[in-house]
Amino acid sequence: MSLEDEVLFHLEVSERVEAGLGTAADFEYLNVRYKKYKENAKNSNFQYELWLMENGTACLKCWDNDDFEPSEIELGLLQLFASAYAVSDIENGGLIQFFENSTGCLAPEAVCGFKSMDALPAAEVVNKAMQIFDVNYPRIRQIRIERLHDRSFDSLLEQLTNEFYIANQNFPFKAEHFYRQLVHLREQK
């Protein structure tokens, strides 16, 4: 299960629990899955995943929150989070899915993150795709969804999605390098 799936499942269970529909089994399942994911992340060659899991919760405020203010989050963390979620969404369902999902509000930060990671082709593809929204990229999800209802962009977004797949083949390595730079900068403070 991907990190996104884990978080979505957690939110679903949390909603059931808040509504009084959750069970002890829900809590146990979450606890076991969290520990398993964390253990897998610790054993991964890519420590940025574990770091995002432990430090990225502030970024989750972007989900269905039209008042989310990206400037409230440390820039490096925000760029790593945004680019990782862009990759996750785009690889799962293309640029259309990324823009339709809540994390699509972070497309400008994803572009900056790709640039910071020296993943310029990926940054260029996402930036081109953002142009369908005109001059000011909409942070509000409903505005992006309404724009995507104009199906005339589908073939362009499909083409750009295919370009993204090619441009972004080394993302885990670039994200790991960027993560290590962030950690090094934090240690120097």
Total structural domains within the chain:
1
Helix ranges (DSSP H) in the chain: 3-18, 24-43, 47-55, 75-100, 107-116, 120-130, 141-148, 154-167, 171-188
Low-confidence ranges of the chain (pLDDT < 50): 1, 13-22, 30
14 inside domain: no
pLDDT in tens, 93-110: 999 999 999 889 899 999
Classify residue 51: in a domain, yes or no.
no
Domain extent at residue 182: 65-188
Return mean pLDDT, the chain: 78
Position 121 in a domain: yes
Question: Residues 1, 9: contact at Cβ < 8 Å?
Answer: yes
- Residues 116 and 74 sit within 8 Å (Cβ to Cβ): no
**Model confidence pLDDT, tens digit, residues 46-77:** 677 777 777 666 666 665 566 667 777 788 88
